């Protein structure tokens, strides 16, 4: 996109042609009352447009040149009319460029000069109508310029607000992706570690069970690579993400986590995406913690779909073998789950339950929007 300063020579040329050509027509209609155009008149008609060429770089000095040329042309009794095109442009531009004090000062000086010319430089008394007409024209130019400036400033503010909102949304999306990535990596890497340790331990004495552990590692590694590829595509290309994991994949998650998991549902129904995703990640993190700290435990996942909230509970029976990852956790599992629940306005509790551990959360379900009533026909 070309800068506005690159159009300045074109603007100066257009204004110069307009003032010279139209002033010749004005001279024909004012032969009896005004002096004919001569070399000095043409020089003054061209001085203003010439100053417009550098107007954006030298706002106030070029405006003074334009107005001075106009004052001289007027006081020398040359044909009036088109010569006021350049002064109108410079006063308008001064306001739009934020130089309001200079614009209003020059406008006031212009008004005084023209009123003085009407009473001192003209052979005939101009009358009150002449003074009001000049005052009204100058005020109209300035007021219109102010209104246009206000509209432009408001649009600029709206654009800045929209850009700020876009940056905020992008930041929130990056945080969401980072949290999603953390949960996926924590779950799958922990699962891979546990199953790899199991396979190494059983590969000589129980190769069939070791083979099952290796198959679980293959599945988990494939999923984590897919999730990583999806997030990287978003960061690199802005491509749409593949469907986010939700409660419809709980059975798949339970089947490959290497634990004895029972999933129980009551009143299952579709959920808003944010609730569905948060519930899945809480269950996923809970199973990751069981795999780390209570290998061999039996786990029960209970999902109760209420009218206004989803109640989920993940309960395990406690470890039956020595944990292989108890010292390798990040310590962010339970706080991360609480953050997800709090973001939706729901509580989450985690603590011992009998010989095992229990995580329970209640996630509010936003009400569905009311359908738009149809108009009677």
**CA distances in angstroms from 42 to 21, 24, 159, listed in the order given:** 10, 10, 45
Helix (H) or strand (E) holding 207: helix 207-237
Rounded CA gap, 104 and 54, in Å? 21
Q: Which of 38, 113, 34 is nearest to 70 (CA)?
A: 113
Query: What's the N-to-C CA distance of the chain in angstroms?
Result: 51
For residue 370, give both structure tokens.
């009311």
With H, G, I as helix, E, B as strand and everything else as coil, classify residue 357: strand
- Partners of 348 in beta bridges: 361
Rounded CA gap, 65 and 138, in Å? 18
What is the DSSP secondary structure assignment for residue 366, as one 8-state letter?
A: P
CA 44 remoteness from chain centre: 50
Q: What is the pLDDT along the chain (377 residues), one digit of tens a residue?
A: 445 556 677 877 888 888 888 888 887 877 777 788 888 988 888 888 888 888 888 888 888 998 998 888 888 888 888 888 888 898 988 888 888 888 899 989 988 988 888 777 665 666 677 788 888 988 998 999 899 989 988 998 898 888 888 888 777 767 776 776 766 676 667 667 766 777 777 777 777 777 777 777 777 777 777 767 766 666 665 544 444 678 888 888 888 777 889 999 998 888 888 899 889 889 988 888 887 788 778 999 999 998 899 999 999 988 766 555 444 445 567 888 888 889 889 999 998 988 889 999 999 988 765 555 544 44
- pTM for the whole structure: 0.49
CB proximity list for 28: less than 8 A, separation 6 or greater: none
Helix (H) or strand (E) holding 343: helix 333-343
Q: Which of 131, 142, 70 is nearest to 99 (CA)?
A: 142
């Amino acid at each position: 996109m070309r800068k506005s300063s690159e159009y300045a020579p074109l603007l100066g040329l257009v204004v110069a042609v307009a003032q010279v050509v139209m002033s010749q027509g004005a001279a024909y209609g004012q032969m009896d009352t005004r002096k004919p155009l001569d070399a000095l008149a043409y020089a003054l008609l061209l001085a203003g447009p010439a100053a417009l060429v550098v107007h954006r770089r030298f706002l106030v000095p070029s405006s003074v040149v334009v107005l001075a040329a106009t004052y001289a042309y007027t006081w020398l009794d040359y044909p009036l009319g088109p010569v006021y095109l350049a002064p109108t442009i410079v006063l308008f531009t001064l306001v739009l460029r934020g130089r309001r004090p200079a614009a209003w000062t020059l406008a006031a000086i212009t008004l005084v000069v023209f009123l003085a010319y009407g009473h001192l430089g003209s052979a005939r008394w101009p009358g009150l109508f002449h003074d009001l007409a000049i005052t009204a024209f100058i005020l109209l130019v300035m007021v219109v310029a102010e209104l246009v400036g206000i509209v432009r400033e408001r649009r600029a503010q709206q654009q800045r607000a929209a850009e700020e909102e876009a940056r905020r949304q992008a930041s929130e999306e990056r945080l969401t992706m980072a949290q999603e990535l953390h949960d996926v990596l924590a779950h799958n890497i922990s699962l891979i570690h546990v199953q790899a340790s199991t396979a190494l331990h059983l590969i000589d004495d129980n190769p069939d069970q070791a083979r099952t552990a290796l198959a679980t590692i293959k599945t988990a590694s494939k999923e984590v690579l897919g999730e990583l590829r999806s997030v990287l595509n978003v960061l690199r290309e802005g491509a749409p993400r593949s469907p986010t994991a939700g409660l419809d994949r709980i059975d798949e998650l339970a089947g490959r986590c290497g634990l004895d998991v029972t999933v129980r549902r009551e009143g299952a129904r579709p959920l808003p995406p944010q609730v569905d995703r948060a519930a899945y990640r809480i269950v996923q993190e809970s199973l990751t913690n069981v795999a780390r700290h209570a290998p061999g435990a039996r786990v029960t996942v209970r999902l109760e779909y209420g009218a206004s909230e989803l109640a989920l509970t993940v309960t395990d029976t406690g470890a039956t073998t020595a944990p292989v990852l108890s010292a390798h956790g990040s310590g962010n599992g339970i706080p991360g789950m609480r953050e997800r629940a709090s973001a939706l306005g729901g509580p989450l509790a985690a603590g011992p339950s009998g010989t095992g551990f229990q995580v329970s959360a209640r996630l509010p379900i936003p009400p569905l929007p009311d359908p738009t009533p149809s108009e009677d026909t």
